[in-house]
Chain A
Amino acid sequence: QVQLQESGPGLVKPSETLSLTCTVSGGSISDSFWSWVRQPPGKGLEWIANIHYKGDTYYNPSLEGRVAISLDTSKSECSLKLGSVTAADTAVYFCVRLNRYGGGWSVFDNWGQGTLVTVSS
């Protein structure tokens, strides 16, 4: 069973860059797409980005220009960077495996526990 563990600072100052890492264990990082999804306190889910081990990346248009997703296959890590943060970026950030169950790459089937990032001075 693949396990995902997010890590990173819980507090980021406005205008700075949010940096998170997801460590993948119990499976190969080269099998799937890897994603970040966030959830502001008391609100719904927002898809942020996907990356495939071959390098294909996809971003939420509303965040494009501020966000970057990357993979380090040697460390089995997926990273997220979000620049110029504001209070609106305060959320629980989830690392998620995007899998393919016979059709397209469409199934978010394995979620990390999430990490709360607060943007505040």
Chain B
Amino acid sequence: QSALTQPASVSGSPGQSITISCTGTTSDIGAFYYVSWYQQQPGKAPQLILYDVTNRPSGVSHRFSGSRSGSTASLTISGLQTEDEADYFCCSYTSRSTFVFGPGTKVSVL
């Protein structure tokens, strides 16, 4: 199975909004609503920030939002803050009952 596609890096100034794309196929993102996003700080385990494309777990900031169009999912971070600097990974369920991750996007706050 092929990994999902994400930009290597995205940057923005404090207060701005940024969007990270995650492109898959009609066998994963395009077929299921089971796309999740994870934030990983250096040296730490990933943490869930969005699930089922648009849903935020309890405790996750409303500045994180998600969407999907066709086989591409997106994560938007609004009101960018320095604490948002991290790596972000998307993940999708697939038609083979497996999971596939994206390569990760490094977010920098300028």
Residues of A with Cβ closer than 8 Å to B? Answer: 35, 37, 43-47, 50, 58-62, 94, 101-104, 106-109, 111-114
What DSSP secondary structure best describes chain B's contact surface?
loop
Residues of B with Cβ closer than 8 Å to A? Answer: 1, 3, 32-34, 36, 38, 45-48, 51-52, 55, 57, 89, 91, 93, 96-104
Pair B45/A44 contact, Cβ less than 8 Å: no
Pair A108/B45 contact, Cβ less than 8 Å: no
Pair B46/A111 contact, Cβ less than 8 Å: yes
A115 to nearest B CB, angstroms? 11
A56 to nearest B CB, angstroms? 9
Pair A61/B98 contact, Cβ less than 8 Å: yes
A105 to nearest B CB, angstroms? 8
Pair B101/A47 contact, Cβ less than 8 Å: yes
The residue of chain A having its C-beta at the shortest distance from the C-beta of B105 within the complex is: A44
Q: Knowing A44-B101, A60-B1, say if A103 contacts B34 (CB, 8 Å).
A: yes
The residue of chain A having its C-beta at the shortest distance from the C-beta of B100 within the complex is: A47
Pair A106/B98 contact, Cβ less than 8 Å: no
